[in-house]
Amino acid sequence: MLKYMSAGESHGQALVSIIEGIPSGLSLTHADINAELARRKLGFGRGARMKIENDKAKILSGVRFGYTIGSPVSLLIENKDWPNWQEMMAVDSGKSAAVTTPRPGHADLAGVLKHQSGDIRNVLERSSARSTASLVAIGAIAKKLLSAFGISIVSEVKSIGEVSCTCGQIKDIAKVDSSPVRCQDDNASKEMVKAIEKAAKEGQSLGGTFEVAIFGLPAGLGNYSSFERRLDGKICGAIASIPAIKGVEIGKGFELASLKGSCAHDEIFYDKNKGYHHKTNNAGGLEGGMTNGETLLITAAMKPIPTLGNPLKSVDIITKEQTLAFKERADVCAVPAAAVIAEAAVGLVLAEAFLEKFGGDSLGETKRNFDSYIKTTI
Ligand SMILES: Cc1cc2nc3c(=O)[nH]c(=O)nc-3n(C[C@H](O)[C@H](O)[C@H](O)COP(=O)(O)O)c2cc1C
């Protein structure tokens, strides 16, 4: 239903992305996409790059007079830092010293072995999380489509390093976004900022965890009939594909393993106003690979950033001598941004599942199909 792809190097001229399959008639402006790109910059602990890049997407096709027209939507995000890299990243001929000391925890070593390259820059330019700007831009379109059906996606940082917050479900996304670490708990936010400052001074980096919550989903998105069509697999795959994400849980996730069945599962109730519902949500809104009508809850763990101010041991791929990994300007902590990126990743998976269920070439057609499904629920 939905097809998307992106291209572009971290220090190249621009990032380009295309998404195909968005119905016509969806209201879409530059502001919708740029607001999400601005949220990707949020978070204390980002490196100098984020001060340079004030990402703005240019819609090149697929939108006319503020509405999608059913053709592929293509986007261009220029890299503001490109003028400083023109020679090192030249398409025809240029010059640049090769990067030869791979960073532990990055794509560097496996990437040069895979491509048989003597310059790690050829790998790091695309393996860099810069490409997530494209993901956020096309994810913004998916989020806009879902929002036309009352579905909203939010996220919050739950821990950074050893500092955790105790706040429950996200109530106010504006408050989350105004926190320097995207956490609604003011005390925890202050401690998280201190932990990042300390890590920066020590040449260290920090990871953490975040939650993504999706409200307003109808029951029945996804599919139990084949394992590759299950929505839980698609969601976990999409979030684990974000650079540095090393764990994903749905609902109570790992904690469920230690609970007795009677405590783990969400009992089913019915009343005329609410219809079918549960009083608990340990399953996190997914049962049998399908949405069950409850809030979809996903938690993810991000490892510490691999590029360190105090680099780890590495080996020079040309001389084979033991040395230290190379340094490039880097974030100390990017958990707040990763949570925004995860909103986009899950938005794309859900938009795809939504269009698979309801179809429609125009938004009006999708709406008719959706309304008829909601009305005729058993
Ligand atoms: C928003 C975001 C920003 C990141 N910033 C950096 C960075 O500045 N320096 C770095 O070495 N890694 C950074 N990373 C992590 C690397 O991209 C990631 O660890 C690397 O691509 C290897 O992939 P893996 O950790 O999934 O194995 C960032 C990740 C995200 C999601």
User: Percent of the chain scored above 70 by pLDDT?
Assistant: 98
Q: Does 233 score more than 90 pLDDT?
A: yes
User: Which is the closest atom of ligand 1 to the Cα of 46?
Assistant: 8
Q: Is 331 in the pocket of ligand 1 (CB under 6 A)?
A: yes
Per-residue pLDDT, averaged over 162-186, amounts to 90
Q: How far does residue 131's CA lie from ligand 1's centre (Å)?
A: 10
Task: Read off the pLDDT of each residue in 33-59 and give the average, rounded to a whole number.
Answer: 88
Nearest atom of ligand 1 to the alpha carbon of 103: 11
Mean pLDDT over 194-212 rounds to 97
What's the average model confidence in pLDDT over 227-249? 97
Q: 210 with 335: CB under 8 angstroms?
A: yes
pLDDT band at 157 (very low <50, low <70, confident <90, very high): very high
Closest to 212 (Cα-Cα) out of 145, 300, 146 = 300
Q: Does 124 or 329 have the greater pLDDT score?
A: 124
pLDDT at 133 over 80: yes
Give the residue from 86, 85, 72 showing the smallest Cα distance to 28: 72
Confidence band, pLDDT 50/70/90 cuts, at residue 169: confident
Q: Which of 169, 159, 298, 173 lies closest to 239, judged by CA?
A: 298
Q: Is the pLDDT of residue 199 over 80?
A: yes
Residue 302 CA to ligand 1 center (angstroms) comes to 9
Q: What is the mean pLDDT of the chain?
A: 95
Q: Which atom of ligand 1 is nearest to the CA of 329?
A: 8
In 303-369, where do the E strands start and end? 313-315, 322-324
Task: Please tell me the predicted confidence (pLDDT) of residue 49.
Answer: 66
Delimit the domains of the chain by residue range.
Answer: 3-375
Q: CA–CA separation, 107 vs 112, rounded Å?
A: 8
Please list the alpha-helical segments (H only) found in 91-185.
Answer: 108-115, 121-127, 132-147, 173-178
365 Cα to the center of ligand 1, angstroms: 40
DSSP 3-state of 222 = strand
Residue 34 host element (H or E): helix 30-40
How much is the average pLDDT of 301-325?
97
- Cβ atoms < 10 Å from Cβ of 20: 15
Mean pLDDT computed over 133-154? 98
**pLDDT score recorded for residue 95:** 85
Distance CA 317, CA 304 (A): 24
Asked whether the whole model's pTM tops 0.85, one would answer yes
Would you say the CB of residue 342 lies under 6 angstroms from ligand 1?
no
Cα pseudo-dihedral 141, 142, 148, 151, rounded to 10: -140
pLDDT tens digits for 244-302? 999 999 999 999 999 999 999 999 999 998 899 999 999 999 999 999 999 999 999 99
**Among 36, 40, 123, 128, residue to substitute to test ligand 1 (most atoms within 8 Å of Cβ):** 128
Residue 47 pLDDT level (bands cut at 50, 70, 90): confident
Going 182 to 55 to 6 to 244, the CA torsion angle's sign is negative
Q: What is the pLDDT, as a whole number, of residue 334?
A: 97
Q: Please tell me the distance between residue 130's alpha carbon and the centre of ligand 1 in angstroms.
A: 9
**With a 6 A CB cut-off, is 164 part of the ligand 1 pocket?**
no
Whose Cα sits closest to atom 28 in ligand 1? 129
In the CATH scheme, what architecture does the domain 3-375 have? 4-Layer Sandwich (3.60)
> Which has more confidence, 75 or 172?
75
What atom of ligand 1 comes closest to residue 303's alpha carbon? 25
pLDDT value at 330 more than 80 = yes
Whether 51 shows a pLDDT value over 90: the answer reads no
Tell me the average pLDDT across 138-159. 98
H helical segments located in 153-281? 173-178, 186-201, 231-240, 261-264
50 pLDDT exceeds 80?
no
The Å distance, Cα 194 to ligand 1 centre, comes to 21
Nearest CA among 84, 122, 342 for reference residue 210: 342
